[in-house]
């Protein structure tokens, strides 16, 4: 400190105030987030002791077990499959709705309210309702369509059914972000296109899509990470006796099952470490893609 330029009394005073202001947040982040992150990593090398006995160091055994466990691989695949339904459908439908609602039409605020409604509902309640809609015997869908589909217990389609709940739940959120992105596009672009005689669809692809790409990218990125850590829907929709469970359960669901249902925290820690590394890789790939596809003016 002595070699550096000495702080004036005013600067010192400012720094003291600043430290006092950031202290709760920084201490909180260290205690509640950074220490736990390191601790989870640490615990992944231990076998959790039974009935209060101490944990035993097992080295990489938890990871070896996880990589050899087909259930873990399957859960990662299930999670990716969920994301493949939720993210593209959720984004495309929301974008179309946002473009419609951004026009000066009557009743847009009512539609916006309706589309956003699922966002303010607890996923636990949403999942209960959809489970009832999907009910094979008494559910609305099978009785209206006169079908007998096992929407959530046929392993071939259950993952799609769960994905649809995810899409339904997230459309409003994506739409609101798209609308605010659309409002930042200067109106003269469209006026110029209008004079050139470009149709609405041409305008959409030539102006809206490129100028909206930062918003789109932001939504895709947050939703991919959100989808890869999905838990509530699987937990609420899939009974433990459901025959399709192994083809639908997400990585976080499996983490929860081993950690808190079965009390094997060491193994759970290893599962969550694998998932986090996977998410980090996906994040890096997406950030590379951002430079290529996103148009910043």
Partner 1 sequence: MESARTRARVTTAVIYIILIIMAFIMLVPFAWMILTALKTNQEAISVSPFYILPHNGWHWETFGEVWKSYNFVLLYKNTLLMIFFRVVCACLTATMAGYAFGRLNFPGKNFLFSLVLIQMMIPSTIFIIPQYLMVSKLGWLNTTAGLVFPGIVTAFGTYLLKTGYQGLPKDLEEAAGIDGCNIGQRFLRIMMPLTRSSMVSLGIFTALFAFKDLMWPMIVCSSVTTTTLAAGLAKAQGQFSSNYPQMMAAAVLAVVPMIVIYVIFQKQFVEGIATSGGKL
Instruction: Convert residues 7-36 into a mask of x (bound to partner 1 by CB under 8 A) and - (unbound).
Output: ----x-xxx-xxx-xx-xxx-xxx-xxxxx
CA dihedral 56, 57, 63, 69 (to 10 degrees): -30
Q: How far is the CB of 158 from partner 1 (least distance, A)?
A: 18
Q: Is 205 in the site for partner 1 (CB under 8 A)?
A: no
How many CB atoms lie under 10 A from the CB of residue 272? Answer: 23
| CB closer to partner 1 out of 1 and 156 | 1
Q: Is 207 in the site for partner 1 (CB under 8 A)?
A: no
3-39: b (≥16 Cβ within 10 Å) or e: eeeeeeeeeeeeeeeeeeeeeeeeeeeeeeeeeeeee
- DSSP class of residue 260? I
| CB closer to partner 1 out of 208 and 259 | 259
Are 108 and 101 in contact by the 8 Å Cβ rule? The answer is yes
| CB closer to partner 1 out of 68 and 120 | 120
Sign of the CA dihedral with 85 first, then 88, 91, and 93 last: negative
At 269 the three-state DSSP class reads helix
84 to 113, contacts with partner 1 by CB under 8 A? 93, 96-97, 100-101, 103, 105, 111-113
Residue ranges of E strands in the chain: 46-47, 56-57
Q: How far is the CB of 144 from partner 1 (least distance, A)?
A: 8
Q: Which listed residue (70, 120, 195, 296) binds partner 1 by CB under 8 A?
A: 120
Q: Which listed residue (218, 242, 290, 294) binds partner 1 by CB under 8 A?
A: 218
Q: Is 122 in the site for partner 1 (CB under 8 A)?
A: yes
Q: How far is the CB of 124 from partner 1 (least distance, A)?
A: 4
């Amino acid at each position: 400190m002595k070699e550096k330029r000495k702080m004036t009394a005013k600067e010192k005073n400012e720094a003291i105030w600043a430290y006092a202001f950031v202290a709760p947040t920084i201490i909180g982040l260290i205690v509640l987030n950074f220490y736990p992150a390191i601790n989870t990593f640490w615990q992944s090398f231990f076998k959790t002791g039974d009935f209060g006995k101490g944990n035993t160091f097992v080295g990489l055994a938890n990871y070896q077990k996880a990589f050899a466990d087909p259930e873990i691989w399957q859960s990662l695949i299930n999670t990716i499959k969920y994301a493949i339904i939720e993210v593209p459908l959720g984004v495309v439908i929301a974008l179309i709705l946002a473009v419609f609602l951004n026009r000066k039409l009557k009743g847009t605020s009512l539609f916006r309210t309706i589309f956003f409604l699922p966002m303010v509902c607890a996923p636990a309640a949403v999942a209960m309702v959809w489970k009832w809609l999907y009910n094979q015997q008494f559910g609305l869908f099978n009785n209206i369509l006169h079908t007998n589909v096992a929407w959530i217990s046929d392993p071939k389609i259950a993952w799609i059914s769960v994905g649809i709940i995810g899409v339904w739940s997230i459309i409003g959120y994506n739409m609101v972000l798209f609308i605010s992105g659309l409002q930042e596009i200067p109106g003269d672009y469209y006026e110029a296109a209008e004079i050139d005689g470009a149709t609405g669809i041409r305008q959409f692809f030539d102006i809206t899509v490129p100028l909206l790409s930062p918003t789109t990218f932001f939504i895709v990125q947050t939703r991919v990470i959100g989808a890869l850590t999905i838990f509530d829907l699987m937990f609420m929709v899939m009974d433990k006796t459901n025959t399709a469970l192994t083809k639908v359960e997400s990585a976080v669901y499996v983490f929860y099952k081993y950690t808190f249902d079965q009390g094997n925290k060491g193994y759970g820690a290893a599962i969550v470490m694998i998932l986090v590394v996977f998410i980090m890789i996906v994040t890096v790939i997406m950030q590379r893609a951002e430079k290529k596809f996103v148009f910043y003016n």
